[in-house]
Structure 1
Amino acid sequence: MDDKACWIALHLVPGVGRITFKKLVDYFGHPREVLRATLGQLTRVSGIGPKIAQEIVRFQTATEVEHELRAVERYGCHVVTQADAGYPALLKAIDDPPPVLYVKGGLGDPTVPTVAVVGSRRPATYGKVVAEQLARELSERGITVVSGLARGIDSTAHLGALKGGGETIAVLGCGLAHMYPLENRALAERISRQGAVVSEFPMATKPERLNFPLRNRIISGLSLGTVVVEAGERSGALITAQWALEQGREVLAVPGNVTAPTSRGTNRLIKMGAKLVESVEDILEELPHYALGPKQATAPRQQALGFQADSTPDEARILALLDPVEERHIDWIIERSHLPTGSVSSLLLQLELEGRVTQLPGKVFLKALR
């Protein structure tokens, strides 16, 4: 098997979730070495019992990978792994990034800002109007809109982004062989031509309830910030907002009618400190590291934005600590920079997006050769 097939194979092993996957790769160095390991070698890894070890050994001769690769090809998709240059840097920076992403379409320029717009599956007209307007205006400014292809606010946000002429990314809670919900299949096809439809789940995975909270962490993980437009007290959009907080990303919310059940979640987010959003400018204010161009209705992507070229004092401090050959762990950088942990994480992510820093597995960094 080639390298990518090895990543897919380990990803398909029953019982190997994203945490076990990371543990195994950290121990053996590469999925190929995991798949080559003996039963005895595998059970030496903390938390790996005989059952999972036996499944891994069985996959050394399994045919599941061939079936999966054929499905990927049949549905016009491709696979991006954490080892690939095209894996999104924002997503790679979270604590538990998916080892494998199935993609239909293109993930686009990695230096382009991304913002999630999410909300209720049963919104009021007000919520749909606001979601479409915000997504369209973000798109017109060259910002990629991320959402979950669900009914209601999510699909409205995707449509707004498409109308704005920019790109949008839909993250599914099922495999790409099962576009869900069914009524959004045509929308998903449009998105795949003007952005990407992505999933961490193997191609044939059905849309099960437990998949969607995991899906939500990818929506927020792909994004600099998450905008909740309309959400009730138990809305899945609040799970996305919680993931965003845990990932150190911005959380923003559109205020709603205080008598409407579908606004209780968003209004509570604002009471808890989420940025109140009345216009797209409120969102842009939370993207200070990006030099956003003026609104360009005719060619937003080409005219949109570029990273600021000059280093800030804190960026310069981080760069001075890094070396192009000797690896530096994030804890070492935090200790010697005398900057807060969250600031160091944000700065390293920004520098990685700009191509000035390279992140290796295990939160280890090198200064990029330019």
Structure 2
Amino acid sequence: MSAVRSACDTCLRRAWLLGRLAGHLEHAPRARRALRDVLALDDLRLIAALGGGEVPVIHAERAAFDPQVARERTARAGLRAVCRHDRRYPARLHDDTASPAVLFVRDRDEALARLLGGGDLDTCPPAVAIVGARRAGPQALETARALGRSLSAAGVTVVSGLALGVDSAAHEGALAGGGRTVAVLATGADRTYPRTKVPLGERIAVSGAIVSELPPGTPAYRWAFPSRNRIIAALAQLTVVVEAAQRSGSLITADFAVQMGREVAAVPGPAAGPHCRGTNLLLRDGAHLVLEPADVLDGLLGIAGGAGLRPPTPLTPAPAELTADLRRVRDAVAAGRATPAALADGPEDLVSVLAALSELELLGEVRRVPGGAYVATVR
């Protein structure tokens, strides 16, 4: 795979500079200036703001920068470099005052342009960001997976961050629904983080796309995660948050979306649950309520007229010819009674509950998750 030649010298130099200053950004005083403001600085001001005692050295290295070396390094990493002057650069990113100079992309047959369009906002395919807790509960993961699957099948590109929990579940669902998914990394696009998600990243690269603003080989830095979140928010017309505590990083994505005038939606959770307080606060403050994929598509219809969208798959369990006992157990699982012990009315009821769960699992109505708990299957 060769690097895209239209990634201009100036943009490649800017991407190199961001990688060069990554360690300085990591240790910059957090209160000094908002991250987007820092990233919006031109090269010379960025060096002055972050370079510290290395300013003369960094200036000399910048003057010696060889764009052809950067192109060759990109190609060796199996990536493409798409700069903001390229017609294949996602048009929605231009709404961000601190948009990446370059996107380093891992995909096949230029899938990024198919998934997110480029150049002309009027022809960009619909895209939704799905983000949430890394330590999400089983039902939240099932919801994220189902949203990703249904939206992908409806012709919507699902954007997320390939993180543990909700992000990965959304990507997995999108792959199952047709493969329309883009993962934005906080490392170089050739370095999947966390490493446990390498197999998922490989699957995304086959039918979707993996992107990063950081040069190949860049490791994970703390500042790069909120920086990655601003790209996720910019690429999507609507950001959906699935299960988030009050200080969840996914709320940073929602905040970036609001700053860029984008819509935010959230899946509600129990009022007393701390793991859902962030999403519930978003709803209190005016975020769109999401109970099923149709709610997300309704939001997109209001934003873009629904061009290219197909009918969604319902998020509620599909009707099935179930006996009253099976329906009772399935509904109880959907309500959060996740274990056989919680479902049984007493020891004498446990055998019948286990039999019902086995039958419901065979019918595809519930699914067993790690720890012996069950979740209602979202179809």
Per the TM superposition, whether the score is higher than 0.5 is yes
Does structure 2 retain, via aligned residues, the 8 Å contact 1:143–1:166? Answer: no
Which residue number corresponds to residue 215 of structure 1? 228
Which residue number corresponds to residue 10 of structure 1? 14
- CA drift of 1:291 comes to 2.8
- TM-score normalised by length of structure 1: 0.68
1:131-168 CA-partner distances (Å, limit 9, x unpaired):
11111111011000000000100000001001101410
Moved more, 101-110 or 121-130: 101-110
- CA drift of 1:2 comes to 8.0
1:205-264 CA-partner distances (Å, limit 9, x unpaired):
111211101110000000001000111111110110111100100000000122332111
Which residue number corresponds to residue 100 of structure 1? 102
AA matched with 2:91: A
Which residue number corresponds to residue 58 of structure 2? 55
Does structure 1 retain, via aligned residues, the 8 Å contact 2:229–2:252? Answer: yes
- Change in 2 beyond 3 A, CA 1:269/1:20: closer
Moved more, 199-208 or 283-292: 283-292
Superposed counterparts of 1:24-173, under 5 Å: 24=42, 52=55, 55-62=58-65, 65=67, 67-105=69-107, 106-109=111-114, 110=117, 111-173=124-186
Over alpha carbons, which structure has the higher Rg? Answer: 2
Question: 5+ unaligned residues in a row in structure 2: which ranges?
Answer: 26-35, 118-123, 314-379
- Change in 2 beyond 3 A, CA 1:86/1:52: farther
Does structure 2 retain, via aligned residues, the 8 Å contact 1:11–1:21? Answer: no
- TM-score normalised by length of structure 2: 0.67
Does structure 1 retain, via aligned residues, the 8 Å contact 2:150–2:177? Answer: yes
- The question of 1:291 aligning with 2:307 is answered yes
AA matched with 2:174: A
Aligned equivalents of 1:46 and 1:75: distance in 2? 31
Aligned equivalents of 1:128 and 1:3: distance in 2? 38
Moved more, 225-234 or 67-76: 67-76
Paired residue secondary structure (2:189): coil
- CA drift of 1:53 comes to 7.1
Question: 5+ unaligned residues in a row in structure 1: which ranges?
Answer: 26-41, 298-370
- CA drift of 1:24 comes to 4.3
1:294-348 CA-partner distances (Å, limit 9, x unpaired):
3389xxxxxxxxxxxxxxxxxxxxxxxxxxxxxxxxxxxxxxxxxxxxxxxxxxx
Which residue number corresponds to residue 274 of structure 1? 287
Paired residue secondary structure (1:59): helix
- Change in 2 beyond 3 A, CA 1:165/1:122: same
Paired residue secondary structure (2:264): strand
- CA drift of 1:175 comes to 1.0
- Change in 2 beyond 3 A, CA 1:84/1:21: farther
- The question of 1:261 aligning with 2:242 is answered no
Paired residue secondary structure (1:285): helix
Question: What value does the CA root-mean-square deviation take over the aligned residues?
Answer: 2.9
Which residue number corresponds to residue 307 of structure 1? none
- CA drift of 1:48 comes to 11
- CA drift of 1:46 comes to 10
Aligned equivalents of 1:204 and 1:250: distance in 2? 33
Aligned equivalents of 2:245 and 2:171: distance in 1? 21
